[in-house]
Structure 1
């Protein structure tokens, strides 16, 4: 039996602002925007090419950290997000002692970090070619 993660809930304070951030700045596709009741709205968005979506809705307290998107070209992905107005880190890699250092690292060791409007932390990771 396959077990597939298909949706991750992301806590947000303002659904409309979060929808605009994810769709306009990050380029996620809006799958649906549903008002279940006058006080309940659920928006599902999916990163281009992903089998997993996010759902934003009523605030759930706290923030999610370490949500990770894998990209084939970390520099191009960083430039795209920065061009859309997202505050992104420089490209970083992890040293053997676990500290972060500037620049690309070895295979699977190049990252860019950013937060959404509610402080939910995202990571871009470069996937080596052909993997």
Structure 2
């Protein structure tokens, strides 16, 4: 049996603002944007070229959800954007206004820098080192 995580739901304040951030600043692809009622949409974004996990941008609809926008990871990095062009993506994202919380680091596992999304969720931009052959 094969399983995979297809979607991770991410609370947002506004669909269009979130689409703008993920598509225009991070370079993600808008996979789907389907109306599901007067104030609800099914909005899915994915990193360019990724056939794996995707984000479901879920507009907070009640006070408890609104309180958690930007803090789903409790202040920790909890989302990881892998790349095969760390320097290029870091430069492009920085120029687009993405807020990096640190200078790039080169660790035993790869090149990494922490950034925040539009609501303050922390992400790693990460280019993993290739395993020795």
Which TM class, normalised by the smaller chain length? 0.7 to 0.9
Q: Which residue among 72, 90, 94 is the counterpart of 2:103? A: 90
- Give the alignment's TM-score, normalised by structure 2: 0.80
CA deviation string 1:55-81 (max 9, x = no partner): 112213412331001112322221111
Please tell me whether the aligned partners of residues 10 and 120 of structure 1 are also in contact (alpha carbons under 8 angstroms): no
Q: Which 5+ residue runs of structure 1 have no aligned equivalent?
A: 93-103
User: What is the DSSP-based 3-state SS (H/G/I as helix, E as strand, rest coil) of the residue aligned with 1:67?
Assistant: strand
| Partner Cα distance (2:47, 2:123) in 1 | 12
Aligned residue in 2 for 1:99: none
1: CA distance, partners of 2:95 / 2:131? 27
Confirm or deny: 8 A CA contact 1:74 1:112 kept in the other structure.
Answer: no
1:72/1:129 contact within 8 Å kept: no
Structure 2 gaps, min length 5: none
TM-score (norm 1): 0.81
Cα deviations by residue, 1:92-124 (Å, 9 ceiling, x for unpaired): 3xxxxxxxxxxx122x24211111111222111
Give runs of ≥4 in structure 1 deviating > 3 Å. none
Corresponding residue for 2:22? Answer: 22
Greater helix fraction, Structure 1 or Structure 2: 2
Q: How does 1:34-113 map to 2 (within 5 A)?
A: 34-50=34-50, 51-59=52-60, 60-61=65-66, 62=68, 63-65=71-73, 66-88=78-100, 89-92=102-105, 104-106=106-108, 108-113=109-114
Report the number of matched residues: 119
